[in-house]
Structure 1
Amino acid sequence: MVFHFHIKEADELNHPTPLGLTFNEKAQELRTLYMQSNFEMGISSIGRGYQLKQFVSTFQGLRVLKLSGLRMSEVPWSIGNQLEQLRYLDLCGNNFRELPNSICRLYKLQTLRLEGCKEFEEWPTSSVMTKMVNLRHLELGLDPSIKYMPLGLGQLSSLQTLGCFIVGNGEPDLLRGLFPRRRKEMINKDMIGGGLGELHGLNQLGGELAIKELRNVKDVRDAKEANLKLKSELQSLTLSWSSGHSWTRVLSVADEEQVLEDLQPHPNLKALKIEWYEGFKMSSWMIYSSSLLPNLVELTLWSCSNLYYLPLIGEFPCLRRLCLKKLDALKSIYNIVFVTEG
């Protein structure tokens, strides 16, 4: 009996029963299926007469399904409707624009990989997204094409891997230029996205996390809601205010400085990158680095164009790698001592 099946070239499915695998009751016993494309064939149909959705749904006992690099323009609805035992789903390197709501019927799913999906721009609606309560790894990569995060993400309290969190601006770029009726339809589908508060209860997050488009924060209180101080498993954190293009500030400089202040990470953090920040000064948790960031090994400050001064870098006891770039207003690096009355 075959329990694990790897198709390196989709052309292998040209055979009526590929590689001798028969489509009968034994197909239900297959647990792992890997499919990878040679990038030269069309993807509307796999092999001769096998539609992808029909082929995949044959194996309803699957626990692991990898459909990477197939250039799929849409995710087969049959995955969510018929593969209810699935624990691991890899959709990396495809061309689909949206994830169907049916994906959220995979209640046992623990890992969903979406890296390299350059056309991906629409999540399932929040009412079904919150049902993926066993999801532990939502792998987007550090530079996804998506412009917002789904409402209700914060209810997926088992998440351990996220990689990237994009702060939506309340009106994603993909809504601009649409007719009013279509805009209303997209807004009704929750495409305004979730704010930093979605991170509040996700205290199992570990590894790398990049919080992007912080320029879209509209209320300084949102930053504190992210609750980064309690995320003890995070090893690397990027705080990015922009993707590098010109942008209009929503908050005042003082409020932007407060946003950074309230995004204080846990002392276990080992790598920190701050980019496109437009405040004049650093946060207090950077100034008192010896006690608040005692384990920091790597620090990068990039394109913080208004930053006047930095705390003494030598105060980071474990620092090994330092990158300071495009700090146009920087005048000095020195110790700053705060004196309080009484």
Structure 2
Amino acid sequence: MACPRQQTFCQALRSDFNANHWRGISKRKMYQMGAEKGGLMATLRLSHEQLPRDLKECFVSCSLFPKGHAFRKEEIIRVWMALGYLDGPGAGVQRMEDTGNSIFTQLLQRSFFKENNEAPGTYIIPEPFDELAEFLSSGEYFRIKKRSEFDDGPINIPERARHVYLDINDLARASGRLSRITNLRSLVVVGQISSGSQKSDLIQTLKELLIGMKCLRVLMVSEPLLADLPKLKHLRYLEIHVEENYGNASLPESICKLYQLQTLIRRFCGNKLSMPKNFKQLISLQFLETEPEAVCTIADIGKLTSLQEINTFEVGDNDNFGISQLENMNQVRGSLCIKGLEMVEGKDEALKAKLGKKEYIETLDLRWKLVSKERTESMMTAPHEVLEGLQPHCNLSKLIINGYTGMEPPNWLKGAPAQELNLKCIELSNCSGWKDLPPFGILPYLKVLHLRQMRSLRRIGEEIYGQDIPSGFPQLHELLFEGLRNLEEWFLPNRDIQLLPKLRSLSITNCGKLKGPQALPYLLENLPSVFIKNCPNIGKDYIRPSMTIGKPILKKDVECIRTSPVYCQKPASLKRKFADRSW
């Protein structure tokens, strides 16, 4: 394996093949630097020298954080956005997040970043690149190491510092120098208040400092210090991190005047967080990371049209929390869970959400709560009409429906409209009135189908495969039936028809009335993963001679269990695969 120096040098060589470029490099003294480290630092500097300007800025900015600091990709990209490092020539052509993602990927490929094995999903700057970043920052990014509480001397901060990182208990000692840096861009205050520090004094110190920081764009601070916020008109990134449980808390109302704020991260360990009354004024907000319960308390959230992540929206009983709030929130992406759909009265109201225009949503979770019997009977057709009006964009990848009491599926899951969907996963749970299933088999990309707790479902007929049964479910990998207590029949065509060609996993549990289809053994024969439990009518008659009955292989591989008697099965296709294992 090549050492970091060799890898870096090779990556630098690959970055440009122009002869004039390398003649210029050869005239520099870069190769003569860092001899005391065997030329490693010189090689690293050479690699950094070849980076485009935007990559250089983004990499050096990471020197603000301590060595070994683990960060998520999304967080560091949002910091770059706030500092203006992504406002390059491509701004306006593509999203800044996409630009940042491209920069991050390039730095990762060039080994300036690496995945953190100790915390999956995070990254670190590897040694010795962290030393390079600190060297190149030249004091612009200044990190104050935590000092002893007995060291009460002043803290010197370079005049050129524009980004400062310090411990909360050093804030008072650093305040004199910080107050003279009026064009500070980033301030990170970390840690917990020690027993020797007065919370009230620290709150007042921070407040006075922030008043003079007119150019501040990034602020990360512990929650107890933010009782109030001055008007920071350039602030774009605010992270409030609470490391202890301080009970119920609220964001200061003054936060609603941060009209340029793009990112708000509020990590809270308490019981409940209340949001400010005028939170809707944060019209530039794109990323909100906090408890879902807190997001659901934001009145008129529909005015935050730039918001890209809300995760959970709960329909309320007035217009301030109505489903129409989603109408113009077309930048929402990732996952969206809509709760309280029993509050929506019909299709016209559901259409106001305009889910069909939200092309960036990948996962849509639609939930109804259980309602009284009287209300259910008086609104028998309402759930179906509501679901009909919640047709998503064709880009949707995963659909979850929970608590739906309608008696039939929506038309957009049938026929031609369904074939236009890119759905890869469908999960239906507690859909108590659903008697018939739509032709899921015609969905060209469907890989996962889960059916749970559907008490009115008595038969899964041939219509589920679509008009052309052999071509149904061309991509299905995983099929699950759970708690379908009234399901009696599951249609499977005879063995001469190749059905479910890519199925790899089948799970059937707590389906007490289900009788095994005659073709079931042929379906089971080549499956790598089978789990059957509490299904007394799927008995040993369905175990073919080509299958081996005995000890379970592995629960994750194959297990077929019946409560009385108990038996396990292993498809013959797996016999060779596990022959060498001892159980």
State the AA in 1 paired with 2:227: P
The TM-score normalised by the length of structure 1 is: 0.74
Q: Residues of 1 paired with 2:381 and 2:457: CA distance?
A: 18
Q: Which of the pair has more CA radius of gyration?
A: 2
Aligned counterpart for 1:17 among listed residues 144, 159, 173: 173
Asked if the contact 1:307–1:327 (Cα under 8 Å) also holds between the matched residues in 2, the reply is: yes
SS class of match (2:288): strand
State the AA in 1 paired with 2:442: E
Tell me what 1:221 maps to: 348
The within-5 A match list for 1:49-128 is: 50-52=201-203, 54-55=205-206, 58-59=209-210, 60=213, 61-67=215-221, 70=222, 72=224, 76-78=227-229, 81-91=230-240, 95-114=247-266, 116=268, 119-120=271-272, 122-125=274-277, 128=278
Q: Residues of 2 paired with 1:52 and 1:292: CA distance?
A: 59
> 1:54-107 CA deviation, whole Å, 9 max, x = no partner?
41551323212223xx564x95222xx332221012235575543333211101
1:131 maps onto 2:258 in alignment: no
SS class of match (1:25): coil
Shift of 1:131: 3.0
Shift of 1:307: 2.0
Structure with greater contact order relative to length (CA < 8 Å, sep ≥ 6)? 1
Asked if the contact 1:267–1:295 (Cα under 8 Å) also holds between the matched residues in 2, the reply is: yes
The within-5 A match list for 1:197-208 is: 197-208=324-335
Q: Residues of 2 paired with 1:304 and 1:291: CA distance?
A: 19
For the aligned residue pairs, the C-alpha RMSD in angstroms reads: 3.3
Mean Cα displacement is larger for which, 202-211 or 161-170? 161-170
Q: Which has the higher helix share?
A: 2
Q: Residues of 1 paired with 2:249 and 2:420: CA distance?
A: 40
Tell me what 2:410 maps to: 283
Q: Residues of 2 paired with 1:286 and 1:75: CA distance?
A: 49
Asked if the contact 2:433–2:456 (Cα under 8 Å) also holds between the matched residues in 1, the reply is: yes
State the AA in 1 paired with 2:164: F
State the AA in 2 paired with 1:164: T
SS class of match (1:50): helix
Tell me what 1:5 maps to: 164
Asked if the contact 1:285–1:293 (Cα under 8 Å) also holds between the matched residues in 2, the reply is: no
Asked if the contact 1:149–1:165 (Cα under 8 Å) also holds between the matched residues in 2, the reply is: no
CA distance 1:202–1:16, shift in 2 (3 Å): closer
Tell me what 1:195 maps to: 322
SS class of match (1:103): helix
Tell me what 2:152 maps to: none
State the AA in 2 paired with 1:24: S
1:150 maps onto 2:306 in alignment: no
CA distance 1:120–1:32, shift in 2 (3 Å): farther
CA distance 1:322–1:193, shift in 2 (3 Å): same
Shift of 1:24: 2.0
State the AA in 2 paired with 1:91: I
State the AA in 2 paired with 1:17: R
Tell me what 1:184 maps to: none
The within-5 A match list for 1:241-320 is: 241-242=368-369, 247-248=371-372, 249=375, 252-288=379-415, 291=418, 293-320=420-447
Stretches of structure 2 lacking an aligned partner (at least 5 in a row): 1-159, 467-583
Q: What is the identity percentage for the equivalent residue pairs of Structure 1 and Structure 2?
A: 28
Shift of 1:233: 1.4
CA distance 1:257–1:219, shift in 2 (3 Å): closer
Tell me what 1:180 maps to: none
Shift of 1:310: 1.6
Tell me what 1:166 maps to: 314
Number of positions where the alignment pairs a residue of Structure 1 with one of Structure 2: 297
CA distance 1:254–1:118, shift in 2 (3 Å): farther
Shift of 1:231: 0.8
Q: Residues of 2 paired with 1:279 and 1:300: CA distance?
A: 16
SS class of match (2:381): helix
State the AA in 1 paired with 2:309: T
CA distance 1:276–1:33, shift in 2 (3 Å): farther
State the AA in 2 paired with 1:167: V
> 1:117-166 CA deviation, whole Å, 9 max, x = no partner?
654454333xx44432212223345x435554412x22222222222211
> 1:213-265 CA deviation, whole Å, 9 max, x = no partner?
222324543211000001111111111123xxx54457713111111110110
SS class of match (2:308): coil
Stretches of structure 1 lacking an aligned partner (at least 5 in a row): 171-191, 338-342
Asked if the contact 2:231–2:257 (Cα under 8 Å) also holds between the matched residues in 1, the reply is: no
SS class of match (2:238): strand
Asked if the contact 1:149–1:168 (Cα under 8 Å) also holds between the matched residues in 2, the reply is: no
State the AA in 1 paired with 2:304: L
Asked if the contact 1:120–1:146 (Cα under 8 Å) also holds between the matched residues in 2, the reply is: no
State the AA in 1 paired with 2:173: T
Tell me what 1:177 maps to: none
CA distance 1:49–1:159, shift in 2 (3 Å): closer
The within-5 A match list for 1:30-45 is: 30-37=184-191
Asked if the contact 2:275–2:294 (Cα under 8 Å) also holds between the matched residues in 1, the reply is: no
